[in-house]
A = this chain, B = another copy of it.
Amino acid sequence: MTTTIPHWLSKQAEIAPDQTAVELTDGSYLTFKELQEKSQSYAKKLGTLGVVKGDHVGILSENSVPMMITIHALSYIGAVGVLLNVRLTASELNYQLNDADVSVLLVSASQQQRANELKVKMVVELTEIENNPESSVALQEEIQLDSLFTIMYTSGTTGFPKGVMHTYGNHWWSAIGSALNLGLHKEDKWLAALPLFHVSGFSILMRSAIYGMPVFLLEKFDVKTVQTAIFQKGVTILSVVTVMLQQLLEELGEKVYPEHFRCMLLGGGPAPQSLLQTTKGKGIPVFQSFGMTETASQIVTLSARDALEKVGSAGKALPPAQLRISRPDKDGIGEIWVKGPMVTNGYFKKEDATNKAMQEGWLATGDLGYVDEEGFLYVVERRTDLIISGGENIYPSEIESVLSAFTGVREVGVTGQVDPIWGSKPVAFLVVDDFITVDMIEKYAQEKLAAYKVPAAFHFVTSLPRNASNKLQRNKLLDLLN
């Protein structure tokens, strides 16, 4: 039986109309009542543009209030939001637009200039929605938790980006799981500097609407702006990846965070012990977490209380979630499986990939890890060969698949190399025909791949390390440099 709840934004507008829903660095803000009215108005205006219930609507935008309004507007129409990474190239975007059956694409002003490269029926600039008359489209007053709300792409080990489907329920349960773990205070204000097109940023929007909590929205991460928000604007919770935390600590110097700051939610891979030691005594309660697009954000979280005792651990599964290690080896290491109502039902139109990932009701994450005797998860290796660079997931197989399509490239292997700023950077190893130059390959890669995916180095080698069954051994690629 599907569960029905009132539309969460309308509910907050009813309960706490004057509560701040979103606040910006310039001090401007929208209340929940204003956000509801704007979102409903956008919904009616999108109706005029032809958007109807069930449509798949692409959103390609940096963080902004119009983007936030548009996301809620889609929920009032009952349309599905396809959240697109602004850092992707036109060809990467076209793959996703086509795969996700996107009919209308909503873009920020800065993205509009490349709209003509994008293959989609209609492109509308976000702030232009405002200029349309309101249609009489029927707005959703309730939310069916089983209904599809968003699609976000992730590549995984196959090299082909797959659209992770999230129902309203996935987002709801993720928000509730987080609240049960972190608590819920009426003074809470969550800073969103992570992109809203990733689930790590998007989930903050959801928590805002579900808790009735203000979100402090940044277009992008900026150390000084974030510090000001924490010290002077009452921000109590911040979601970061390791590189951001490092920058914040450097800027912080001898200062200590104010007492109202109660949670630094750290995602995107385990933090180095030295970093955690530095947070000690600085009023920075770090909550390490493990999650992925498929789990609608964090699903395993380490409380600040245990942070230093369990360095390197991602913690325990959130209250509505379960965790287990599949087929552990003699050291207890095996594939991390998770289960819970925040976990996706699968990939859009990818039945095989879905069946492979979802086993007996559990999501096989592809990541390896173990659980200690007290039940804490340690992630030993993120999804085979996954490179996490400044919080962005990079899949070697995706880069290899693009580079190998270039005439003259015979073999390609990509792996991550330690980077002092971004944590890791992709580097490529290629077996090529004589006429190929690094410049040619680099230029081609820049055309085809988002900047953060373009290898930091292209090494020409005579052969790639392969195992007995001729499978590429990415973990041995860096040995070629010695």
Contact = CB atoms under 8 A, between A and B. Distances in A.
Contacts of A375: 14
Contacts of A210: 180, 319
Nearest to A339: B4
Contacts of A340: 5-6
Contact of A341 (B3, B12, B212, B322): B3
Nearest to A301: B15
Contacts of A14: 316, 375
Contact of A5 (B6, B169, B316, B341): B341
Interface in A283-337: 316-317, 319-322
A183 B185 contact: yes
Given A15-B316, A183-B186, A184-B184, A361 B6 contact: no
A162 interface: no
Interface in A144-185: 146, 169, 173, 176, 179-180, 183-185
A6 B375 CA distance: 15
* Band of interface residues on A: 35 or more
A257 interface: no
A422 interface: no
Nearest to A5: B320
A395 interface: no
A3 B6 contact: no
Contacts of A15: 316, 319
Interface of A: 1-6, 8, 11-12, 14-15, 142, 146, 169, 173, 176, 179-180, 183-186, 210-212, 316-317, 319-322, 339-341, 361, 375
Given A5-B340, A5-B341, A6-B340, 19 more contacts: A1-B146, A3-B169, A3-B173, A6-B319, A6-B320, A6-B322, A8-B319, A14-B316, A14-B375, A142-B322, A176-B176, A179-B180, A180-B184, A180-B210, A180-B211, A180-B212, A183-B185, A184-B184, A185-B185
